[in-house]
Amino acid sequence: MLPIRAEAVSYAAGGAAILDEVSLTIAPGAPMLILGPNGAGKSVLLRLLHGLLRPEAGRITPAAAIRGAMVFQRPVLLRRSVLANLRYPMALAGVSRAERLRRAEVALAEVGLSALAGRPARRLSGGEQQRLALARAAALEPEVLFLDEPCASLDPAATRAVEEIIARIATRGTKIVMTTHDLGQARRLAGEVVFLHRGRVVESALAERFFAGPASAEGAAFLQGELLW
Amino acid sequence: MQDLGSAFMAAIALVRDGDAGMLAILGLSLRVSLAALGIAAVVGLPLGALLAVARFPGRRAVVVALNALMGLPPVVAGLLIYLLLSRSGPLGHWGLLFTPGAMVIAQAVLITPILAALSCGVLEALWEEYAEALRSFGAGPWRAVPTLLWDGRFALLTVLLAGFGRASAEVGAVILVGGNIEGFTRTMTTAIALETSKGDLPLALALGLVLMVIVLGVNALAQGLRDVALRRAG
Amino acid sequence: MVRRHLVLGLLLTGLALPAAAQERFITLASTTSTEQSGLFGHILPVFIRASGIGVRVVALGTGQALDVGRRGDADALLVHDRAAEERFVAEGYGGPRRRVMYNDFVLIGPASDPARIAGTRDVAEALRRVAARQAPFVSRGDRSGTHAAELRLWQEAGIDPVQGRGQWYREIGQGMGPALNTAAAQEAYLLSDRGTWLAFRNRQALKVLVEGDERLLNQYGVLAVSPQRHPGVKVKEAQAFIDWITGAAGQAAIAGYRINGEQLFFPNAAPPN
């Protein structure tokens, strides 16, 4: 699957341009954080890369229907047990029955939900739900995992738990591509940064370089907290 | 007022004595309506789910048509089935006219659009929530249908009950295709129609009360099961 | 394709078939008057015991019953409109027509009797008074045997009741029972067969005002549906039923049916020629 290349990708909705000739390459390595103010087009870019949306111009390779796995800002859990939620996408992906069970157990242990395997998934707390969504995606053992603001609606403790899980998934060799508006989180997780502003990639750099001193004025303003949209 | 009072007394007497004739009629009513519900569910629920997920030209027209068919007058449905099943009709060789099988078909035809239209409405909301996630898992519309049917099972129970209610309350179609034959195709509703036309209004009303209590019981039972399952499965 | 239909058909039948269904049976299209008077409940068990053939009665108006026969959806007919029955036979749908029994029609009205017809035996005169007074009159209006008889009586009276349609002459297009219910609610006059009247419970102020005129005779006939147009028709069983009901045992069973000691139907089968 990797590298995934976006070449001059544009996208518009309702006549308004959301992305304008975005190019980037997702290669194996440390997590890629897509940063930018609200309305920059981060979520749309993630959906294009994952394959949920089709670019209106430009192209994304490889040309698979769906690339990697994805976790949404608000986890979409099936109205089933925790365990059944884990198994469902694996069954769709053609994972054998025994392997499904094995991976589900491992994933549940990893996110600390083993004791809740039989619970209705939608009765879990917000943090537990997001951990389950992460476990569900990780159990697919994707080469690349897209995360769209996974901690946006979580309290600090739940956020830390989720960050730990993300870091662990990353060290196993899964490429993380994640959007966030939380600069602290970005500093903690990022290996590389793509800075998006008004639908354009303004900067693309290693995390240390970006946080040490952005090359662009917009990047600098964003780090100062002065770039609101 | 007097009639109502004697209807209540007669209803109590019917139930207390376990009137064999009435029990047989009640049994047939339930069997026919449940069989029709089963057939309509097998056809109508997947159809509703498919309409909820699929986007194709003419989809709106299909939904509008289904909604219109929900109001199909039972007598019209009955007449169509009658003409199909008549020995002079295309399916005459089945020999089903004036049998419980014909009544099952008529009720199934009546309630399939109801199940499809109502389940489409219920599942559209669920699909809105699930669509991105399921596509992310690589599930196409065909795979989404069984997922929605299972995950919407508690809401769909209400849809099934609506269909059952309509089927068990129906008289126009079943009296046409069933013939209201005593001991064979007489159901609660056709018996009520018969007793009304014999002028035995208290007995007719008593049968109606018994039918209402049974339908109420079925609903209460289903809702109870649903609540228990919901508490377990969320 | 045909096989698949058959399988589906069998499945549907099996789904809802009551345990007590007979192996051998005929479908008899008959009239609401015979069904609702309780006659069939009295005589059919006798026939079933004697022959082992079940009888499924579909009770309709005579006109509808004849139509069911025309479509081949019944094996035998027991109806009461001689002219229509003879037409059915002439068209080749079945027959021959055999007489079975008779009872009579009665002219019913509210006890207050605004048209002052009580006491007359002349039914034509009574109808003329109803029309002159423009008193409400409920007509079956459903091509039934009773409806046909009623229209014949109006003709005898020299009156075209259709003139009063929508005012005093009210055609409801329904069976005898609903017609009686309507007349009871509206304090209207109507023609009814005696059997349904005797079994009818919701009489309110209605009572029999005119009876005994020979023009009120109500003759029932029985016919087998011809297998020539509809090969599925059960000829043998239908004939067995006709032979029984026009024979000694059936005629005796008919004579034996009484409500409150009153005999409802009078057997008068002619010997087969």
> Is B2 domain-assigned?
no
User: Is some CB atom of chain B closer than 8 A to the CB atom of C184?
Assistant: yes
Q: Which of A65, A79, A92 sits opposite B151 (nearest CB)?
A: A79
What is the pLDDT, as a whole number, of residue A149?
A: 94
Give residues with Cβ within 8 angstroms of C218, minimum separation 6.
C80, C102, C103, C104, C105, C145, C146, C149, C193, C194
How far apart CA A1 and CA A51 sit, in angstroms, is: 12
% of chain A surpassing 70 pLDDT: 99
> Is B206 domain-assigned?
no
On whether the CB atoms of residues C101 and C132 are closer than 8 A, the answer is no
- What is the per-residue pLDDT across C124-163, written as a single tens digit (0 to 9) for each? 999 999 999 999 999 999 889 999 999 999 999 999 998 8
Residue of B nearest to C174 (CA): B197
Q: Which residues of chain A, if any, have pLDDT below 50?
A: none
Distance (Å) from the alpha carbon of A87 to chain B's nearest alpha carbon:
11
The residue among B163, B83, B86, B78 whose CA lies nearest residue B119 is B163
**CB contacts, 8 Å: B87 with chain C:** 71-73, 230, 232-233
Q: Which chains touch C (3 or more CB pairs under 8 A)?
A: B
* Banded pLDDT at B202 (limits 50, 70, 90): confident
The residue among B109, B62, B120 whose CA lies nearest residue B84 is B109
Distance (Å) from the alpha carbon of C200 to chain B's nearest alpha carbon:
5
Local structure of residue A149 (DSSP, 8 states): S
Q: What is the DSSP string of A16-84?
A: EEEEEEEEEEE-SSSPEEEE--TTSSHHHHHHHHHTSS--SEEEEES--SS-SEEE-SS----SSBHHH
Task: Provide the total of helices (H) and of strands (E) in chain A, helices listed first.
Answer: 8, 9
Token reading at C175: 């069976």
Expressed as residue numbers, the domain containing B69 is 31-200
C97-123: b or e for each residue (b if 16 or more CB lie within 10 Å)? bbebbebbbbbbbbeebebebeebeeb
- What is the per-residue pLDDT across A133-176, written as a single tens digit (0 to 9) for each? 999 999 999 999 999 999 998 999 999 999 999 999 999 999 99
**CB contacts, 8 Å: B132 with chain A:** 47, 52, 72, 76
Give residues with Cβ within 8 angstroms of B162, minimum separation 6.
B114, B118
CB contact under 8 Å between B104 and C178, yes or no, is no
* Residues facing residue A69 across a β-bridge: A145
Residue of B nearest to C70 (CA): B88
Tell me the CA distances in angstroms from C139 to C161, C169, C190, one per residue in order. 10, 7, 6
> Is B210 domain-assigned?
no
CB contact under 8 Å between B147 and A79, yes or no, is no
> Is B171 domain-assigned?
yes
Task: Tell me the domain boundaries of chain A.
Answer: 1-68+143-229, 77-141
On whether the CB atoms of residues B120 and B48 are closer than 8 A, the answer is yes
Residue of B nearest to A75 (CA): B133
- What is the per-residue pLDDT across B22-50, written as a single tens digit (0 to 9) for each? 889 999 999 999 999 999 999 999 999 99
Token reading at C241: 């039923």
pLDDT tens over chain C, length 273 residues: 444 554 555 455 555 444 444 579 999 999 988 888 889 999 999 999 999 999 999 999 899 999 999 999 999 999 999 999 999 999 999 989 999 999 999 999 999 999 999 989 999 999 999 999 999 999 999 889 999 999 999 999 999 998 888 899 999 998 888 999 999 999 999 999 998 898 888 999 999 999 999 999 999 999 999 999 898 899 999 999 999 999 999 999 999 999 888 888 999 997 654
Question: C and A: touch, per 3+ CB pairs < 8 A?
Answer: no
How far apart CA A193 and CA A190 sit, in angstroms, is: 7
What is the pLDDT, as a whole number, of residue C273?
A: 46
Token reading at B78: 């009955």
* Banded pLDDT at B103 (limits 50, 70, 90): very high
Query: Is the pLDDT at B3 greater than 90, yes or no?
Result: no
In this complex, how many residue pairs, one in chain B and one in chain C, have their CB atoms less than 8 Å apart? 110
Distance (Å) from the alpha carbon of A215 to chain B's nearest alpha carbon:
35
The residue among B121, B101, B115 whose CA lies nearest residue B159 is B115
Please name the amino acid found at residue C5.
H
Token reading at B35: 């069989």
Q: Which of C18, C174, C232 sits opposite B184 (nearest CB)?
A: C18
What is the pLDDT, as a whole number, of residue B22?
A: 85
> Is B147 domain-assigned?
yes
- What is the per-residue pLDDT across B135-161, written as a single tens digit (0 to 9) for each? 999 998 889 999 999 999 989 999 999
CB contact under 8 Å between C59 and B180, yes or no, is yes
Tell me the CA distances in angstroms from C238 to B25, B182, C24, C27, C233, one per residue in order. 27, 19, 11, 8, 8
CB contact under 8 Å between A76 and B233, yes or no, is no
> Is B25 domain-assigned?
no
Token reading at C174: 């329904």
How far apart CA A19 and CA A10 sit, in angstroms, is: 5
Cα B32 to chain centroid distance, Å, stands at 9
Residues of B with CB under 8 A from a CB of C: 24, 27-28, 31-32, 35, 86-89, 91-101, 103-105, 179-185, 194, 196-201
Q: Which uninterrupted H or E stretch holds A126?
A: helix A126-138
Token reading at B30: 């339930």
Domain count across chain B = 1
Dihedral sign computed on CA atoms, order A209, A215, A221, A222: negative
> Is B137 domain-assigned?
yes
What is the pLDDT, as a whole number, of residue A175?
A: 96
CB contact under 8 Å between B138 and A66, yes or no, is yes
Token reading at B25: 């009629």
Q: What is the 3-state secondary structure (H, E, C) of C93-161?
A: CECCCEEEEEEEEEEEEECCCCCCCCCCCCHHHHHHHHHHHCCCEEECCCCCHHHHHHHHHHHHHCCCH
**CB contacts, 8 Å: C7 with chain B:** none
Interface probe for A, chosen from B136, B142, B150 (most Cβ of A below 10 Å), is B136
Residue A46: phi, psi to the nearest 5? Answer: -60, -45
Token reading at A85: 């939620």
> Is B47 domain-assigned?
yes
Q: Under CATH, which architecture does the A1-68+143-229 domain have?
A: 3-Layer(aba) Sandwich (3.40)
Domain holding B103: CATH number? Answer: 1.10.3720.10
On whether the CB atoms of residues A138 and A107 are closer than 8 A, the answer is yes
CB contact under 8 Å between B136 and A81, yes or no, is no
**Structural domains of chain C, with CATH:** 25-102+219-267 (3.40.190.10), 104-216 (3.40.190.10)
Please name the amino acid found at residue A62.
P
In this complex, how many residue pairs, one in chain A and one in chain B, have their CB atoms less than 8 Å apart? 46
Q: Which chains touch A (3 or more CB pairs under 8 A)?
A: B
Given the DSSP bridges, would you call strands A32-35 and A192-197 parallel, antiparallel or unpaired? parallel
Local structure of residue A119 (DSSP, 8 states): S
Give residues with Cβ within 8 angstroms of B9, minimum separation 6.
B202
Cα A63 to chain centroid distance, Å, stands at 19
User: Is some CB atom of chain B closer than 8 A to the CB atom of C176?
Assistant: yes
User: Is some CB atom of chain A closer than 8 A to the CB atom of B127?
Assistant: no
